[in-house]
Amino acid sequence: MKTILVQMSEKSWTMEALHLACALARNNASHVILLRLMPVHHPSYLGTAFGDTSPTNHERYEIAEYAATAEDYGVELSLQSMQCATTLEALVDAAGQLDVDVVFAHIHKSWLPYWHEFQAWQLRRQLSARHRQLFTLDGSSRDQKYVPAITLESAHRVVGK
C-alpha cells in the first residue's frame, strides 16, 4: 500500500477518518495525505490565484491537531490543498494525481432520497475502476458486510427406555 488520502471535512468526521487511516498506514508502512479542498465560486477560477484561499485560523488549528494525531501513530502526514468545482470529482482527480490506494471521503447527506447512496456508488465505481478503495464512514451497507446472527439453544429431550 502506497498512500492513503483523507478528505478534510467536518472536524469530527475527519478525526475519525484520520484515526482509521493512521492505524492502516502504520500497519502497512504507508503515509497519509490530508486533502484540503477549496471550492471555487466560478469554474473559470480553477487553477488561478482567484481560486486559492488560505486556511483560516480555525483550519490551521485543526490541521495542527490532525498532524499531532498522525505523529502519535508514528505516521507521516502531509497536507495538500486543491481547488475544485465539485467535491466528488475533485476526490477522483486527487486520488489519481497523488497516486493513492485508499480514499476516505465524506459524502454529505442530501434532502433528496437516495442521492447520498447514488453519490457514494458513483464515487466508489470511479475509484474502483482505477483500483482504489473508498471508505465513507457512513455505515452504509456497502462499507459493512451484513452477517446474520441467530442464537440456537440446545434442546435436551429425554427418550424413554
Residue 141 pLDDT: 42
Q: What is the mean pLDDT of residues 54-74?
A: 93
**Cβ contacts of residue 52 below 8 Å, gap of 6+?**
38, 81, 83
Residues 37 and 122: their CA atoms lie apart, in Å, by 19
What is the set of domains in the chain, with CATH numbers? 3-135 (3.40.50.620)
Count of Cβ atoms closer than 10 Å to residue 73 Cβ: 18
> What is the three-class DSSP state of 158?
coil
Query: Which of 48, 43, 131 lies closest to 92, judged by CA?
Result: 131
**Among candidate residues 55, 58, 74, 77, the one with its CA nearest the CA of residue 66:** 77
Strand 77-84 relative to strand 3-7, pairing: unpaired
Query: pLDDT tens digits, residue range 142-155?
Result: 444 545 555 555 55
Between the alpha carbon of residue 17 and those of residues 13, 45, 48, 76, 147, the distances in Å are 6, 30, 30, 15, 24
Could you identify the residue written with the cell 488560505? 54
Question: What does the pLDDT look like over 67-89, one tens digit per residue?
Answer: 999 999 999 999 999 988 888 88
What single letter denotes the amino acid at residue 79? L
Q: Which residues contact 142 (CB under 8 A, 6 or more apart)?
A: 120, 121, 124
What pTM did the predictor assign?
Answer: 0.78
